[in-house]
A and B are shown apart, each in its own frame.
Chain A
Amino acid sequence: MDKKESTDPDRDGLPPFVSSWPQLYKLLIATLVVLIALFYLFMTHFE
């Protein structure tokens, strides 16, 4: 999947800070992990 996507000539819609669609998907999942961690810190800080 990664190889096929990254060599796709149609890069329309791909933001400049990523080089392929799979990289964007990884970024999305990483953001989710970071958000959960931040929420946990927020909760423990104020509880």
Chain B
Amino acid sequence: MQRCDYLLSQLDVLEAEAMHIFREVAAEFERPVLLFSGGKDSIVMLRLAQKAFWPAPIPFPVMHVDTGHNFPEVIEFRDRRVAEIGVRLVVASVQESIDSGRVVEERGRRASRNRLQTVTLLDAIEAHEFDAAFGGARRDEEKARAKERVVSFRDEFGQWDPKNQRPELWNLFNTRIRRGEHVRVFPLSNWTELDIWDYVRREELELPPIYFAHNRPVFERDGMLLADLPYANRGEDEPAFEATVRYRTVGDASCTGAVKSAAVTLEQVIEEIAATRITERGQTRADDRASEAAMEDRKKEGYF
């Protein structure tokens, strides 16, 4: 269909909005950083950042908050992608935070480093004097995130105060902060999970292989399939078995669940996502299941 009425597709509008946000923040902050996990959202962010500044290189580094509980395929992908683009990678290590006594490892079978990441992230932001951190969070993901601003203020303790947020009007963003404070910036705020996948398809973006159906040893816990990796603390009563799975999100391997799937191509994955009746975080994130306000509470502390 030929469009002669100056309409743009939804992906074009979302892309333009994200590029505007990247440029605005790069222009108004001294030391931005892009949080890069190797997951699909941060892969899309990296592409948008490239487009925003092309043909110049991306004018800020990327940072991975490394829980140590990784999928090896994702780390391999991260290093390769970063090298291809030629952007500087900063790794903030939760293990180092544990070793230095900044945080204490949780105990028990469900021990996770998810919550510990917040301290590591805030310490790294302070140490590198980052004043703006781009995150890939989307408002459709979770109800606390639905209320978050695109440019979201964090006080000197890295805390979010949901009841005291700056109004955001038109395409104007208030970027003023004091030394020691920072903002989190969410260029993908208005994207949905399906928009992300449509964009991955349109831009032919490479994803880590764990997003596609593959065989791996898994076990069941709390109705989720977890990878049988050493740090998942599989118990005697949790038998491991081989299953064909893919991941919908990439997070800490000890609390990110897989879904059974035979989708090996991007088209097949998109077909499954479009038909699913469960949200990605509800299906695959143990960290959100703690309570009705689990995400809000973690976000107030300074979580992603």
Are A and B co-members of a single complex? no
